[in-house]
Amino acid sequence: MDTQTVTEVANQMSMWDLVWASDMVTKVVMIGLIAASVWCWAIIFEKWGTLRQLKQRSEKFEEKFWSGGSLDRLYDNIGNKPNNPMAAMFVAAMREWKRTNILKSKTDRGLRGVSLQQRIEKAMTVSMEKELDAMDTRMGFLASTGSVAPLVGLFGTVWGIINSFNAIGATQSNSLAAMAPGIAEALFTTAFGLIAAIPAVVAYNKITSDIDRFARKLENFMAEFSSILSREIDDTAIKAEMAGE
């Protein structure tokens, strides 16, 4: 193939023609990066939608919690199906509280306030960590894509450039027209790597920040609710001592 023929072929090839004219290794790299990008966007949209929904449900729960109504009634309304992490923590704490009261009524013993307080806080902590772990699901894929995709794209580029130079050596032509298609084909993998990595890194940082902010909100609720139950425990203990007298 002479230089004029190579030039005519290069002018006729579009971007996708260059992509599909690449060898199998380069194609596998590009297809893998495209698949990773699509999965990253699916995770991003799912996380954004889930976080927004959980925030709205938690705000509604907080309104009911601080409305001054009965905590027992709120617990009965929620039942065993809390629809947000804050409600799940509340249910875990109330379940431990009620279990202790039932045990007290059966054994006719006084409440051990410190032990009960610790169990309630432990129940809320376990519930919070479980909910946060669920929110962190698949976040590792975003982090991995953000760090690995550019390197995979670079590998595809290096591989394509090596093949391009081998082809140039075989045709005995060192003109720009002969080199351009192969170089452009190789650089596509770098572009695909960046297309996959950049949204993954930005979304990972944003979603992680939102989860951390939500976690601090849960910790504040746990501290406030723990204080409320601590006062209830102290009042119960005082009443028990007065009754014993």
- Interval 53-71: pLDDT, tens: 999 999 999 999 998 888 8
Least trusted range by pLDDT, from 41-50, 77-86, 111-120, 215-224:
111-120
DSSP for 201-219? HHHHHHHHHHHHHHHHHHH
Residue 91, pLDDT above cutoff 70: yes
Whole-model pTM? Answer: 0.79
Every domain of the chain and the residues it spans: 25-52+70-244
Q: Between the CA of residue 53 and those of 73, 76, 182, what are the distances in Å?
A: 24, 23, 48
Q: How many CA atoms lie within 13 A of 212 on its CB side?
A: 6
Q: What is the pLDDT of residue 62?
A: 92
Residue 63: per-residue pLDDT: 92
Q: Contact at 8 Å (CB) between 167 and 196?
A: no
| Tokens (6 digits) for 30 | 């590009």
Which residues fall within 8 angstroms of residue 34, CB to CB, at 6 or more apart? 192, 196
